[in-house]
């Protein structure tokens, strides 16, 4: 049986106006977001370009100032400063190797008891840098020698102190002392010399 001509054989639904509007809104939102990102990137690129230009101008200015300062330097003045530096360095090396016994004598007298006296004192410096002490003297008693040995050990700068050839003679104890001296006691120290001079000045 054939269908009447007024009845269609297929049906295709048409999109509603609401769906079309929603797609249009989403497309507009994405486009707006894309334009915003593009504007941000362009702004950052412009900012980087401007900052780079500022840095380049600053560097060029500093380079010009440096070149001007170098050109203004007097070669004779530079030579004088170099010569003065060499002299100061040489003087420092000489003072570093200079032997000054004032600090040693001051320390030695402080560590030795007052009732002990020396009749001879010899200080020898070897090429290896070892400084040795040889002395002979007399003390009032054995306790004075024990006190001296204890003082040397406590201070630590007069090392390996050995009292030998101990004899009782004329109500005194004679002895021979051998020891090694810390190099710090024999090196020239301007501060020590200054303080010593200030102490002795009336």
Q: What is the pLDDT of residues 44-97, one digit of tens each?
A: 888 888 888 888 888 888 888 888 887 777 778 778 788 888 787 776 666 655
pLDDT 10s digits, 120-139: 888 887 777 788 889 888 88
Q: Which helix (H) or strand (E) holds 63?
A: helix 17-71
Q: Is 112 helix (H, G, I), strand (E, B) or coil?
A: coil
Res 99: pLDDT: 62
Q: Is 182 helix (H, G, I), strand (E, B) or coil?
A: coil
Res 14: pLDDT: 52
Domain limits of the chain? Answer: 23-63, 98-200
pTM summary value: 0.44
Res 10: pLDDT: 54
Q: Is 137 helix (H, G, I), strand (E, B) or coil?
A: strand
Query: Looking at residues 17-28, what average pLDDT do you find?
Result: 57
100 Rama sector, left if φ>0, alpha if ψ -120 to 50, beta otherwise: beta
Burial 135-168 (b: 16+ CB within 10 A, else e): bebbbeeeebbebbbebbeeeebbeebebeeeee
Any idea which fold 98-200 has? Answer: Alpha-Beta Plaits (3.30.70)
Beta-carbon contacts of residue 167 (< 8 Å; ≥ 6 apart): 173, 174, 175
Q: Which helix (H) or strand (E) holds 175?
A: strand 172-181
């Amino acid at each position: 049986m054939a269908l009447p001509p007024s009845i269609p054989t297929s049906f295709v639904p048409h999109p509603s106006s609401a769906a079309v509007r929603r797609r249009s809104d989403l497309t507009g939102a994405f486009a707006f977001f894309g334009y915003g990102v593009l504007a941000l990137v362009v702004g950052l690129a412009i900012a980087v370009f401007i900052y780079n230009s500022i840095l380049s101008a600053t560097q060029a200015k500093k380079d010009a100032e440096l070149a001007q300062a170098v050109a203004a330097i007097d070669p004779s003045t530079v030579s004088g400063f170099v010569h003065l530096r060499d002299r100061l360095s040489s003087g420092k090396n000489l003072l570093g190797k200079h032997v000054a016994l004032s600090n040693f004598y001051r320390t030695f007298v402080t560590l030795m008891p007052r009732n002990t006296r020396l009749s001879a004192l010899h200080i020898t410096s070897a090429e290896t840098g070892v400084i040795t002490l040889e002395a002979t003297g007399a003390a009032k008693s054995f306790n004075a020698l024990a006190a001296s040995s204890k003082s040397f050990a406590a201070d630590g700068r007069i090392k390996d102190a050995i009292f030998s050839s101990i004899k009782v003679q004329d109500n005194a104890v004679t002895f021979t002392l051998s020891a090694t001296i810390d190099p710090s006691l024999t090196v020239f120290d301007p501060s020590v010399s200054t303080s010593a001079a200030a102490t002795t000045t009336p």
